[in-house]
Amino acid sequence: MRNLSFGFFDDCGLPRDARILIFYSFETDERLARSGILHYHVGEGRFVGPRHDRELTSAALQFLSQAGRIPAQSA
């Protein structure tokens, strides 16, 4: 996974204190572009929807923590 980047989609109409939508994009090792949206349920403390790669969700949790949107994750 190369050039991984995240961004918030805050104008989705969902309450920010309950759900967070995150855009992601990256390039595979084969140089294929990939992008999508992750849906994080704050109350449940997990991503909902289709299962995602563990590396992607771990990086997304770190992004959310660094952005102050969720409490810091313990290692």
List per-residue pLDDT tens for the chain, 75 residues long: 899 999 998 766 666 678 899 999 999 999 999 999 999 998 899 999 888 889 999 999 999 999 998 887 654
Let me know if residue 74 belongs to a domain: no
Let me know if residue 22 belongs to a domain: yes
Let me know if residue 9 belongs to a domain: yes
Structurally, the chain folds into a number of domains equal to: 1
Let me know if residue 75 belongs to a domain: no
Let me know if residue 36 belongs to a domain: yes
Query: Residue 14 corresponds to which tokens in the numbers above?
Result: 């969902």
pLDDT attached to residue 18: 81
**What are the C-alpha distances in Å from 3 to residues 16, 33, 46?**
27, 10, 24
What residue numbers bound the domain in which 9 lies? 2-66
pLDDT attached to residue 74: 55
Query: Residue 74 corresponds to which tokens in the numbers above?
Result: 């313990």
pTM of the model: 0.83
pLDDT attached to residue 17: 72
